[in-house]
């Protein structure tokens, strides 16, 4: 018998405003055709002016709690992955805690850019296995529209806003790979690549800054590192790609998503894809895809899922879980 962190609820929230690729044709030297063929993105959501990351996160958290049939008071901790928190401090997670009316437990943010949700899941899993918390809300939420340089066509067409959330619950498993819940995690970072993807501002510089990316360089690292971390995580769980029902990847670019699946020897029939509708929502993209995948009827109880992501740092990783 062994402890397992099992998903008992999932939910998401997308801001009302949908922005199609054609929106950018008016102000930039770009086309819907270029954006779709290079990234797979057709549209994305942008938060309203008065909508913050913690607002998006709270909506997604309520949806996940409702899906789990739980109340905020049943939760011991909130781990929120974001690089676009409302304020420098306090954490967006404590704002969600207050918004949910949760007056016990603890809440904090995790920042690993697009790999943030994988890092947050891994952190929550460790806390559950250590007995620090019985139920944890794990949220990915972003307003990347706030850090775009709207004159930079190579970045501003790629990102969107949104939030997704899971409720993880401590349960007892048999200790085999047939157990439901998180079966393994694999985290990596390499700060030598910090200049490939960063925001050129922050608290110490007293500016918010804008996202800067050497997209083709990141691309070069992405497929190899994502397939490698997914295979390492599967190996740690005593499983292989043949056992996978669904890859639920970070949704940055359809060419990275399909290249990673191909490298793992899996067809696109085994991949949940939402990039066409959401764009790259950074730490929110995996929980958004899990929630949409469940709504579509793709993801069902007992399915073996691999999530994988890479982002600024570079930071990358994977989590293997049975739904
Ligand atoms: N419209 C038209 N042309 C454009 C646009 C645009 N929106 N953007 C760039 N171009 C041009 C470039 O200027 C370049 O022109 P040039 O050849 O005259 O210099 C040409 O298109 C090719 O540019 P590349 O950057 O080489 O294009 P690529 O095929 O690599 O696609 C993309 C770009 C979509 C950014 C891709 O590299 C990518 O997805 N990279 C990975 C992004 C990623 O996964 N990031 C990690 C997560 S994000 C995070 O952590 C925050």
- CATH number of domain containing 248: 3.40.47.10
Q: Which protein residues touch ligand 1 with a CB less than 6 Å away?
A: 30, 34-35, 38-39, 113-114, 153-154, 157, 197, 215-216, 218-219, 222, 252-253, 256, 280, 282, 310-312
| Ligand 1 closest atom vs CA 218 | 41
Residue 210 structural domain: 181-322
Tell whether 28 and 164 lie within a shared domain.
yes
Query: Pocket of ligand 1, candidates 110, 162, 188, 219: which has the most ligand atoms within 8 Å of its Cβ, to mutate?
Result: 219
Residue in 25, 15, 23 with CA at minimum distance from that of residue 45: 15
Q: Which of 120, 138, 173 is the last residue of a domain?
A: 173
Q: Which of 104, 139, 173 is the last residue of a domain?
A: 173
Question: Domains in the chain: how many in total?
Answer: 2
Tell whether 169 and 198 lie within a shared domain.
no
Tell whether 246 and 279 lie within a shared domain.
yes
DSSP state of 245: S
Quote the pLDDT of residue 1. Answer: 87
Instruction: Indicate the burial class of 34 (C-beta count within 10 angstroms; 0-12, 13-18, 19 or more).
Output: middle
Give catalytic status of residue 114 as yes or no. Answer: yes
Tell whether 201 and 152 lie within a shared domain.
no
Q: Is 42 helix (H, G, I), strand (E, B) or coil?
A: coil
Give catalytic status of residue 156 as yes or no. Answer: no
Say if CB 140 and CB 82 are below 8 A apart. yes
Tell whether 206 and 167 lie within a shared domain.
no
Give me the sheet containing 315-322, strands edge to edge. 181-189, 315-322, 304-311, 246-249
Tell whether 164 and 217 lie within a shared domain.
no
Give catalytic status of residue 250 as yes or no. Answer: yes
> How far is it, in rounded angstroms, from Cα 162 to Cα 106?
23
Tell whether 158 and 216 lie within a shared domain.
no
Tell whether 82 and 127 lie within a shared domain.
yes
Q: Which of 124, 140, 173 is the last residue of a domain?
A: 173
Identify the residue whose C-alpha is closest to ligand 1 atom 5.
154
| Per-residue tokens: 237 | 């769980």
> How far is it, in rounded angstroms, from Cα 101 to Cα 90?
17
| Per-residue tokens: 260 | 């990673």
Per-position pLDDT tens, the chain of length 323 = 899 999 999 999 999 999 999 999 999 999 999 999 999 999 999 999 999 999 999 999 999 999 999 999 999 999 999 999 999 999 999 999 999 999 999 999 999 999 999 999 999 999 999 999 999 999 999 999 999 999 999 999 999 999 999 999 999 999 999 999 999 999 999 999 999 999 999 999 999 999 999 999 999 999 999 999 999 999 999 999 999 999 999 999 999 999 999 999 999 999 999 999 999 999 999 999 999 999 999 999 999 999 999 999 999 999 999 99
User: Residue 279: which region, alpha, beta or left (left: phi > 0; alpha: psi -120 to 50)?
Assistant: left
Quote the pLDDT of residue 23. Answer: 97
> How far is it, in rounded angstroms, from Cα 307 to Cα 322?
11
């Amino acid at each position: 018998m062994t402890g397992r962190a099992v998903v008992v609820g999932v939910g998401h929230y997308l801001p009302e405003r949908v922005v199609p690729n054609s929106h950018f044709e008016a102000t930039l030297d770009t086309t819907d055709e270029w954006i779709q063929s290079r990234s797979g993105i057709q549209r994305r959501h942008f938060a309203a002016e008065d909508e913050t990351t913690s607002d998006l996160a709270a909506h997604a958290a309520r949806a996940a709690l409702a899906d789990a049939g739980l109340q905020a008071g049943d939760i011991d901790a909130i781990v929120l992955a974001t690089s676009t928190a409302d304020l420098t401090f306090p954490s967006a997670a404590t704002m969600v805690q207050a918004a949910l009316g949760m007056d016990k437990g603890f809440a904090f943010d995790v920042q690993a850019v697009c790999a943030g949700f994988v890092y947050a899941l891994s952190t929550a899993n460790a806390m559950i296995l250590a007995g620090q918390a019985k139920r944890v809300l794990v949220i990915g939420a972003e307003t990347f529209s706030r850090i775009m340089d709207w004159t930079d066509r190579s970045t501003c067409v790629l990102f969107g806003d949104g939030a997704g959330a899971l409720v993880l619950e401590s349960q007892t498993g048999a200790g085999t790979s047939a157990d439901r819940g998180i079966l393994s995690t694999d985290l990596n970072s390499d700060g030598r690549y910090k200049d490939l993807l960063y925001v050129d501002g922050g608290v110490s510089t007293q500016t918010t800054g804008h996202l800067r990316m050497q997209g083709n360089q990141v691309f070069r690292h992405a497929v190899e590192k994502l397939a490698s971390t997914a295979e390492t995580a599967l190996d740690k769980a005593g499983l292989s790609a043949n056992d996978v029902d669904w890859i639920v990847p970070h949704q940055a670019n359809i060419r990275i998503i399909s290249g990673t699946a191909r490298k793992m020897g899996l067809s696109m029939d085994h991949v949940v894809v939402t990039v066409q509708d959401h764009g790259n929502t950074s730490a929110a993209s995996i929980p958004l895809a899990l929630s949409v995948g469940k709504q579509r009827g793709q993801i069902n109880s007992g399915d073996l899922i691999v999530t994988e992501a890479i982002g600024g740092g570079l930071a990358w990783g994977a989590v293997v879980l049975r739904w």
